[in-house]
Amino acid sequence: MDSQLKIGFIGAGNMAFGIAKGILTGNVLPANVKVSAPSSRNLGRFQELGIAVTHSNIEVVCGSDVVFVAVKPHLVPLVLKEVTQHVTGRHMIVSVAAGVTLATLEELLPENSVAIRLMPNLPCLVQEGALLFARGSHAKQEDGALLRSLLHRCGLVEEGPEAWIDIHTGLSGSGVAFVYLFAEALAEGAVKMGMPSALAHSIASQTVLGAGRLLRDSGKHPAQLRSEVCTPGGTTIYGLHTLEQGGVRASTMSAVESATERARELGRKSTAGSRK
């Protein structure tokens, strides 16, 4: 990857910040990154990283090779209509807006534009994200390879068909909140049994972290690891029985399904909105 590649962000929220932090741990210099947002509220943390900031989306596009569009889904049509006349063949436009389809992006951008749809998640902030991207009809394999090389310090980066992006939104984009809810419940269970709250939350977070790392690094199926914790007649199988009685497995599957369907609904709305 060219270390002089110019990177731009339209939008200064958590996703943009997490991706920017990851990119800067690679070969990209802060001087080659610029971020725009309508207000200065979130720009200070980018400036602390040495990144230039502006209120002009057009300035970002004109000075960048790769542009991450990291705004709320309903703002994507407005933003792309504003900058479209400045998008050229040298640009790669990467949208991280939930539900905004590649068809919508390509309709809003000039003909033959390179568009990629990316779904990161909040742990990008600590370079432990799970990111999935899909290439548009004019994005080549080398464009995907460039994006992967840019993002590899952000966490796990995978490519797949666009149909998987909404599923990934439900699984991992929203899934982190499901994990936080479970961690909170673990800690509250310990508080109920008499442990101080601060200690309970510290142990719960470490439990989630340790379990996740072991799951990732061992390569074992979750069911195998779960069975390794259980001993006949022991504490864990009693606790798991209670979780199953509460429907935790079915509820979690339904939560992923609901979040996925919502992402698809947002996609249909974005497609309809771009044609008005």
Instruction: Give the model confidence (pLDDT) of 65-101 as tens digits.
Output: 999 999 998 899 999 999 999 999 999 999 999 889 9
- Annotated binding-site residues for NADPH read 57
Strands 114-119 and 129-135, bridge-based pairing: antiparallel
* Count: domains in the chain: 2
40 occurs within a structural domain: yes
CATH code, domain carrying 243: 1.10.3730.10
2 occurs within a structural domain: no
Considering the domain architecture, whether residues 144 and 239 belong to the same structural domain is answered as no
Cα end-to-end span (Å), the chain: 39
Considering the domain architecture, whether residues 86 and 206 belong to the same structural domain is answered as no
Considering the domain architecture, whether residues 116 and 180 belong to the same structural domain is answered as no
Orientation angle between helical segments 235-245 and 248-274, nearest 10 degrees: 50
Orientation angle between helical segments 175-192 and 248-274, nearest 10 degrees: 150
- Annotated binding-site residues read 10-15, 57, 70-73
94 occurs within a structural domain: yes
pLDDT(1) > 60: no
- Annotated binding-site residues for NADP(+) read 10-15, 70-73
> 43: closest CA among 11, 21, 71?
11
Instruction: Give the model confidence (pLDDT) of 141-183 as tens digits.
Output: 999 999 999 999 999 999 999 999 999 999 999 999 999 999 9
Considering the domain architecture, whether residues 32 and 156 belong to the same structural domain is answered as yes
Q: Which range marks the domain in which residue 141 is found?
A: 7-160
175 occurs within a structural domain: yes
Dihedral class, residue 183 (left if φ above 0, else alpha if ψ from -120 to 50, else beta): alpha
